[in-house]
Amino acid sequence: MDFFTMCMIAAGFGMAIGAFGTGLGQGIAIKSAVEGVARNPAASGKILTTMMIGLAMIESLAIYVFVVAMIILFANPFTEQVVALLSK
């Protein structure tokens, strides 16, 4: 398996794990917020604000994973060294 194939596989696994983790985290956060509003409807404004901030933080993790995957695929700093090693 060549270097570029391994980069594609690594980026794919990274995105899959990142998407799974952030999706799970967002689901748990929304579930907890809905339960909190069901228990205390008067606090729905504070719960909604806190939930939105938390969801933004969780979503930033997915964006970081996407950026790292794009770096692995398109701007890999080790490409020249690996190609030089493989061509020997």
Across all residues in the chain, what is the average pLDDT? 89
88 falls within a domain: no
What CATH code is carried by the domain that includes residue 73? Answer: 1.20.20.10
87 falls within a domain: no
Distance CA 65, CA 70 (A): 9
18 falls within a domain: yes
Find all residues with CB under 8 Å of 30, minimum gap 6, and list them: 51, 55
13 falls within a domain: yes
Number of domains in the chain: 1
Whether residue 77 has pLDDT greater than 90: no
Write down the pLDDT at residue 83.
76
Whether residue 64 has pLDDT greater than 80: yes
Whether residue 86 has pLDDT greater than 80: no
Write down the pLDDT at residue 73.
84
Write down the pLDDT at residue 46.
93
9 falls within a domain: yes
In which domain, by residue range, is 41 found?
3-81
Q: And the tokens for 62? A: 């997915």
Q: And the tokens for 63? A: 């964006």
